């Protein structure tokens, strides 16, 4: 809204002033004349009103208030969007943590056939990087779990569960070293 009407300012003058405010940065008395459909010589009336009622000063106040209001709404929208994205990242990260917990609880039976530990670690890293970006932090260094020679982790045989637990413990330690604390698994009684 434009600045309040001044004492002694007529309805016509104030109405013209409001329209002048709403014209934006490219405003001029001539453009106001055209917008309001006034005759050619009416610019002189606007100039008199402008001088008598401090239009330049008041329109500057309007522009600042309008800019601050728009900027404030944009910031509020960005904050709300960030909260939504962080919530989504946390929800997916929580689900991934549950999958990793399931590996411990079930000793890997079946779960490793649908998602390898490497895939789970990469998903967790990606989600943590996204959460850090939303919070304005730098992403962590690369964290990767892999089998011998960079290949997949073995998911069958007697040693794969022990290896999976050791790899997950290593991942937890690396993430904690990168500042991600509190990654725990309920029922982890090792």
Total length of the chain: 190
Q: What is the DSSP letter of 5?
A: P
Whole-number pLDDT of residue 78: 80
% of the chain residues with pLDDT over 70: 60
Model pLDDT, residue 186: 39
Percent of the chain with pLDDT over 90: 23
Query: pLDDT tens, 90-127?
Result: 777 777 677 666 665 665 444 445 556 667 677 777 77
pLDDT above 90: residue 136: no
DSSP code of 28?
A: -
Q: How confident is the model at residue 66 (pLDDT cuts 50, 70, 90)?
A: confident
How many angstroms separate the CA atoms of 86 and 135, rounded?
8
Residue with tokens 């990168």: 178
pLDDT, average across residues 124-138: 70
Q: Which of 102, 134, 141, 107 is nearest to 120 (CA)?
A: 102
Task: Note the pLDDT tens digit of each residue in 163-173.
Answer: 666 767 777 77
**Cα dist from 83 to 6, 69, 97, 136, 139, whole Å:** 43, 21, 20, 13, 18
| Residue 68 token pair | 């601050």
**CA pair distance 105, 127, nearest whole angstrom:** 23
Q: Are 16 and 36 in contact (CB under 8 A)?
A: yes
pLDDT of the residue at 189? 44
189 CB-near residues (< 8 Å, 6+ apart) = none
Average pLDDT over residues 4-24: 91
Distance between CA atoms of 58 and 69, rounded to whole angstroms?
16
- Segment 74-97 mean pLDDT: 77
Question: What pLDDT digit, counting tens, does each position of 20-57 carry?
Answer: 988 988 899 999 999 999 999 999 999 999 999 999 99
Q: What is the pLDDT of residue 159?
A: 64
- Of residues 76 and 189, the one with the higher pLDDT is 76
Q: CA–CA separation, 61 vs 55, rounded Å?
A: 10
Whole-angstrom distance, CA of residue 48 vs CA of residue 187: 81
């Amino acid at each position: 809204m434009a600045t309040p009407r001044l004492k002694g300012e007529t309805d016509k003058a104030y109405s013209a002033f409001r329209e002048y405010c709403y014209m934006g940065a490219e405003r001029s008395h001539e453009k106001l004349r055209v917008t309001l459909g006034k005759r050619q010589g009416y610019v002189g009336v606007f100039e008199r009103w402008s001088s008598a009622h401090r239009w330049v000063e008041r329109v500057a106040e309007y522009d600042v208030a309008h800019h601050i209001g728009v900027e404030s709404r944009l910031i509020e929208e960005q904050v709300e969007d960030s909260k939504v994205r962080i919530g989504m990242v946390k929800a997916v990260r929580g689900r991934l943590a549950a999958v990793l917990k399931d590996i411990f609880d079930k000793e890997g039976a079946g779960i490793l056939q649908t998602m390898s530990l490497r895939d789970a670690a990469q998903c967790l890293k990606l989600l943590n990087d996204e959460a850090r970006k939303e919070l304005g932090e730098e992403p962590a260094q690369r964290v990767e779990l892999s089998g011998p020679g960079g290949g997949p982790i073995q998911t069958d045989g007697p040693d794969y569960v022990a290896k999976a637990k050791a790899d997950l413990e290593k991942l937890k330690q690396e993430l904690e070293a990168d500042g991600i604390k509190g990654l725990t698994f309920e029922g982890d009684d090792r």
